[in-house]
Amino acid sequence: MADNELVFKNAHELAALVQSRQVSPVEVVQAYLDRIEALNPKVNAFITVTRDHALQAARQAETEIRAGKYRGPLHGIPYAPKDILATRGIRTTNGSKVTADWVPDYESTITSRLNKAGAILVGKTNLLEFAMGSGVLSGFGPARNPWDLAYSPSGSSSGSGAALAASMVPLSVGTDTGGSIRGPAAFCGIVGLKQTYGRVSRYGVTTLSWSLDHAGPMTTSVADAAAMLKVMAGPDPLDPTARPEPVPDYTKALTGEVRGLRIGVPTNYFFDDAQPQVDAAVRTALRRLGDMGAQLVEVDVPHADLAASAGWIVAMGDAACFHEKRLREKADLFDPLVRERLEAASFYTATDYIKAMRVRTILMREMEDVFKKCDVMAVPGSGSVASKLPSPEIAKTDVHPGGAPYRGGNTFIGNMTGLPAMVIPCGFTSGPPVLPITIMFYGRPFDEATIFRVGHAYESVTDWAKRRPPVAYGPSDHEPAPQGPERWI
């Protein structure tokens, strides 16, 4: 099998080949390393590539599998965490000049568990500085959207989304404080899961907001996200917020069946600003699920419009506290936008923070009421598709100005309530450029299985996840991408 065929397979397809010894982990890892070497100069998805480490781990995996010591569906499969997860002996930059040379002497719980499951780290992916920067003015430059290199892959897990869409890696880990897994998933047309708060340990993940941070799987299929979460989830004595709830075998939920499932469709807020093509694609996806036997029911979240503005106060208040010493000592090394946000947040009052937390309580109660009527709630993954990367001048301007409540798309309510949510592809714009459209499913606390169930069922009857972007020839805003299947990677 040619190496270029391997990189276009998802992780569970690769796992079947590795387990049956049709291909070796060394072949798989080498194929992805070659792909990264060829495309990263264009996409800038990786900050660090761990070639020697990855090949050594691949040889070890090959030896173990030949000896009958197969560890499970991630054994021998490459992955790349966002470069905000600590990796022992491997540079962890946080996307910032402030910590550009930091080499941790400890391992995050997430990467430790993935490594133990046999997954092979091939590098660390780009991000917005400390998960809140401009991406343009940060330490390592912007990652670029493989669907059009002049466009943004969103943030803050920008490199993870771009790497997956460009077939540079089959598995990644992102973090999500207000939508930073689901935004790149939406703009890049991949699968992104923000699981329930407390389902996955955050030990070794650099803090943005203690009360809102999540770290979760980013993949190219729902089955891969389910396999990753099974490995990553569970209690951790190193993180007191990691909950002891049992971790189910999520693969049992991947039945392809949604008959009788109640899908809530909000009548307020979530579709209000959706672009016409986004609205049409998401509603078409919902009708398809209805045709498969799901029941569509109307729901309402009265104060959804306050989720992001209140969440911003919580997130930036926490961040200002966490970075207080760095801001005092190394202010000139920060992305100017990050510095401005942290300095502004230092003036938030205790009453501002408490009011935001009261909004959080209201939203939790309203979402409890929603799930009395439905099993999952469906909304656009993003109301808009990807936009062009900003110029450095625009990037210096705060994109969340004061005045009207900051909407924050459809994601921040998941962080404010801690509820699980997953984004999957459901269409594309007519172009040019052709850009992904996604749908997002919210679920009850610790009920990721039902989200996987509905997402996998929809994915199994559509081919949106199989389309690939034209990154190989590097289109720009000055030179429109040639069309036609022979031009697609």
Strand partners, 277: none
Strands 262-266 and 295-299: parallel
| Catalytic site includes residue 82 | yes
3-state secondary structure of 487: helix
Task: Tell me the residue ranges of DSSP E strands in 287-364.
Answer: 295-299
Which residue carries 């969103």 as its tokens? Answer: 154
Handedness of CA 264, 266, 270, 276 (dihedral sign): positive
Handedness of CA 284, 288, 293, 294 (dihedral sign): negative
Tokens of 35: 């792909």
3-state secondary structure of 85: strand
Which of the residues 24, 156, 160, 309 is marked catalytic? Answer: 156
Strands 78-81 and 120-121: parallel
3-state secondary structure of 173: strand
Which residue carries 């069309």 as its tokens? Answer: 483
Residue 207: CB partners within 8 Å, gap ≥ 6?
213, 318, 319, 322
| CA-to-CA separations, 452 to 14, 226, 377, 425, 457, in angstroms, rounded | 20, 7, 13, 14, 8
Q: What is the radius of gyration, based on Cα positions, of the chain? A: 21
| Catalytic site includes residue 156 | yes
Which of the residues 180, 201, 209, 382 is marked catalytic? Answer: 180
What phi-psi label fits residue 356: left (phi over 0), alpha (psi between -120 and 50 degrees) or beta? alpha
Which of the residues 9, 82, 124, 194 is marked catalytic? Answer: 82
Residue 53: CB partners within 8 Å, gap ≥ 6?
90, 121
- Whether the upstream peptide bond of residue 485 has omega within 30° of 0, thus cis, is no
Decide: 413 and 301 in contact? Cβ < 8 Å.
yes
| Catalytic site includes residue 180 | yes
- Residues annotated as catalytic (active site), given as ranges: 82, 156, 180
